[in-house]
A and B are shown apart, each in its own frame.
Chain A
């Protein structure tokens, strides 16, 4: 097994019965493991809702630690569509050339720095910085603000002792409250101000709604991007031939990014609450229980993906669900894709090879399944091209 591999712990259960179960605070979750079931269930937002009690569709459940509804993530149609319509254009900005150029600057600086160091720990010293600095572009706020977020360290949302730590989450909530108040006093052209000024159903968004959107852009885009970036570095360390290929054929970059997102599936699964007694893959699902859409398992489904456990860097047919599926598909995907496309470009251009010196895998515990999603830490050495 290569050091950078992410094994598929779901294969047997996916093929044998199509689902698995994970206990969670007396509110167990039936994880759907097959691509077709995941897609079908994601589309059926009537029977499988996101707009349950705030925090309930998250696993582990956050019902006991927060009341703020995350928007548009924990909202069902028709309101969901109203919120998405408000946000969609803003979250497409990463396609603009000047956004891409700014990303290139941020990433080039980090790669140059890495090339000069004897060695570095990728999560803290590369991926967290990259993610934080890139997020200032998405929110359209000064670059310096990223220093605050980097200062919070890796575990503002997920503490090391337990996945649910209310005190740590409070840092983010207090911070966002303060930023919203600041934007009310001094409106600008940042996302806070734009949201405060937008209207839904003929009225202004409330502070609580603005908070619900902002929290999600921080929480949803943090671990996912950090893991995608770090896992990419680990992959290229063991596959320098892929770097060479990307350098010679930059036109495959977009395909490569989709393939990395499929293979890494940085968000393992996401829950839904069942609204009426029904069945999912011949398994009874009772009203008011939880199922989850396991993107990570669906993305290794051999009935659709050839060689699902291989990274095929130019995979052409790749109907993955790494960014979700249906109306809740990732709003940050344009940003995430642009980050990864630029990263691959800069690495291919500047880096000859990378050595992994030491690593500690980050293994998620989902009851019967143990899934490696990335690293707690990974020390590497970058080598420049001559």
Chain B
């Protein structure tokens, strides 16, 4: 079980839990504003962009090469950027906080 905290760009806080799936799916299921997930999670649309809270970045890990290529061209890209459809839910990321970019 992983508990994830989303903070949207209009400063709403949503805490959600799941055992499996991707963080994008979890956000969609909980109507997190700013996570659209248009492409269904195949790393094509970048509508699931988050900034991982600085202290949590090691838990979540860095993007792979293909995801990084996408992120580099996004507005508001920074060193804590991830496309959250590429983050799998697992115990390893329990407790992390994600700032929704859009």
Contacts and interface: CB of A to CB of B under 8 A. Distances in A.
Contacts of B70: 319
Contacts of B45: 323, 329
Top 9 nearest A-B pairs (CB, nearest first) are A254-B40, A318-B42, A319-B43, A258-B42, A319-B44, A43-B73, A320-B44, A317-B43, A319-B70
A285 interface: no
Contact of A316 (B38, B42, B69): B42
Interface of A: 36, 39-40, 43, 254-255, 257-258, 304, 315-321, 323, 326, 329, 333-334, 337
Contact of B42 (A39, A315, A326, A329): A315
B39 A258 contact: yes
Contact of B73 (A39, A316, A318): A39
Nearest to B64: A317
Contact of A255 (B40, B66, B69): B40
Contacts of B73: 39-40, 43, 326
Interface of B: 38-45, 66-67, 69-70, 73
Contacts of B67: 319
Nearest to A334: B38
Contacts of B41: 254-255
A255 B85 CA distance: 12
Contacts of B38: 333-334, 337
A334 B39 CA distance: 9
Interface centre among A315, A316, A319, A321 (most CB of B within 10 A): A319
Nearest to B73: A43
Contacts of A329: 45
A318 B40 CA distance: 10
Interface centre among B38, B42, B66, B67 (most CB of A within 10 A): B42
B44 A304 contact: no
B69 A258 contact: no
B40 A257 contact: yes
A255 B37 CA distance: 12
A304 B70 CA distance: 11
A319 B40 contact: no
Nearest to A314: B42
A333 B39 CA distance: 9
B66 A304 contact: yes
A175 B63 CA distance: 49
A317 B40 CA distance: 11
A254 B38 CA distance: 10
A43 B71 CA distance: 12
25 contacts: A36-B69, A39-B69, A39-B73, A40-B73, A43-B73, A254-B40, A254-B41, A255-B40, A255-B41, A257-B40, A304-B66, A317-B42, A317-B66, A318-B39, A318-B42, A318-B44, A319-B42, A319-B43, A319-B44, A319-B66, A323-B44, A326-B73, A329-B45, A333-B38, A337-B40
B15 to A, nearest CB: 24
A330 to B, nearest CB: 10
Contacts of A319: 42-44, 66-67, 69-70
Nearest to A333: B38
A312 to B, nearest CB: 11
A323 B47 CA distance: 13
